[in-house]
Amino acid sequence: MQIAVVGGGDCSLEVYDMARQLGRLLAEQGHVLLCGGLGGVMEAACCGAREAGGISVGILPNDKREANRCVGIAIATGMNHARNVIIVKSADVVIALPGMHGTLSEIALALKMGKRVISLQSWEIPGTVRAKTPEDAVKLVGAVI
């Protein structure tokens, strides 16, 4: 499955570690990681996936040079925030970590498209499924299969 991990471009060390663990766990399960390709949560998830030998795809706002150091496949869109539609539409499941309005837009788009959204300590929005840990989130992904 293709799993989108969305969250802040800036984040605390605690959230960074959680996103890295999530990326690793998803890769170990054979999932492809999709994200916005920048820093913070996106970088951490990509690094975790890479460490586990997985595939990470960064759907970038403008140019491939923006990609974080751990993106495996960089896709330049030139679409800025509109790239969120591509990320969400391409995902089978969306896992949201703490973030700001970009993260909120990805959650809203996913819900509008009928995608399963797992909130890992992120926005509390009706229609999302709550997870407390990366392990819980990956188990919820497995429940979709």
Q: What is the pLDDT of residues 50-94, one digit of tens each?
A: 999 999 999 999 999 999 999 999 999 999 999 999 999 999 999
In whole angstroms, what separates CA 129 from the centre of its chain? 15
Sequence spans of domains, the chain: 2-142
Residue 78 buriedness (CB in 10 A; 0-12 / 13-18 / 19+): exposed
Alpha-carbon gap, residue 135 to 62, rounded angstroms: 32
Separation of alpha carbons 20 and 48, rounded Å: 4
pLDDT digits (tens, 9 = 90+) for 100-145: 999 999 999 999 999 999 999 999 899 999 999 999 999 999 886 5
Token pair of 67 as six digits: 């990609």
For the chain, state the CA radius of gyration: 13
H-state helical runs in 1-145: 13-28, 41-51, 83-90, 101-112, 134-142
**What is the 8-class DSSP label of residue 13?**
H
Task: Measure the N-to-C terminal CA separation of the chain; round to a whole number of Å.
Answer: 8
Residue 97 has pLDDT above 90, yes or no: yes
Write down the pTM of the prediction: 0.97
**Segment 8-30 mean pLDDT:** 98
pLDDT of residue 44: 98
C-alpha 49/C-alpha 101 separation (Å) is 25
- The span from the CA of 115 to the CA of 57, in Å, is 19
Residue 142 is predicted with a pLDDT of 84
Domain 2-142 carries which CATH code? 3.40.50.450
